Amino acid sequence: MIIDINPLLRGETAEIGIDAVTVPAAAPDDYELLPGARIKGRIVNSGGYIRLTSSVSVPYRGFCARCLDPVERTLEFEFDRTVVADRSVSDEVIEENSEEYLKTEGGMLDLDEAVSETVYTEFPMILLCSDDCPGLCRFCGKKLGPDGRCDCGGKPETDPRWDALKALFPDE
């Protein structure tokens, strides 16, 4: 979504509302973006200081790190930036402070591009279907029950060091 903020720059309006579909460029490996990402908010010009305040929601799919089930969630984050529409801040400073500034080209603001970088960093390092997901049985590979047990009856392998110890004390 590209927004024309020229009316704001010319003083024809003091505020532009945003409620639009956004298309983030990419998700990290292991994640897939689902359709329906949106950005909602507004851009306000208060005496030449232009501020974007918005919230972004991005549906995605990933896999539980423990049981490997598909998990669908939505990233929700605030996306607030100072919009620089003139030469008051150098490109270098804008790039170094992309958490604070947004650049416009001829009064056009590319929100997809702006949001993409932030979206990428919002994904969780580890995705779980639930905080107490017990994971998979390490004997048969099936999903464990909520109590962490599996009906396959798989038993933990004995540590060979215990076998050596048992050999020393055959009666026990």
Binding site for Zn ion (CB under 5 A): 64, 66-67, 129, 133, 137, 139-140, 150, 152, 154
* Residue 76 or 139 with smaller CB distance to Zn ion: 139
* Residue 21 or 139 with smaller CB distance to Zn ion: 139
* Residue 111 or 129 with smaller CB distance to Zn ion: 129
5 and 16 Cβ atoms separated by less than 8 Å: yes
For 67-105, b/e burial (b = at least 16 CB within 10 A) is: beeebebebeeebebebbbeeeeeeeebeeeeeebbbbe
* Residue 30 or 139 with smaller CB distance to Zn ion: 139
* Residue 28 or 154 with smaller CB distance to Zn ion: 154
| Nearest distance in Å: CB 123, Zn ion | 17
- Closest Cα partner for 52 from 118, 5, 122? 5
In angstroms, the CA 171 to CA 160 distance is 18
| Nearest distance in Å: CB 155, Zn ion | 10
| Nearest distance in Å: CB 124, Zn ion | 13
81 and 110 Cβ atoms separated by less than 8 Å: no
| Nearest distance in Å: CB 24, Zn ion | 25
| Nearest distance in Å: CB 136, Zn ion | 8
Neighbours of 154 (CB within 10 A): 14
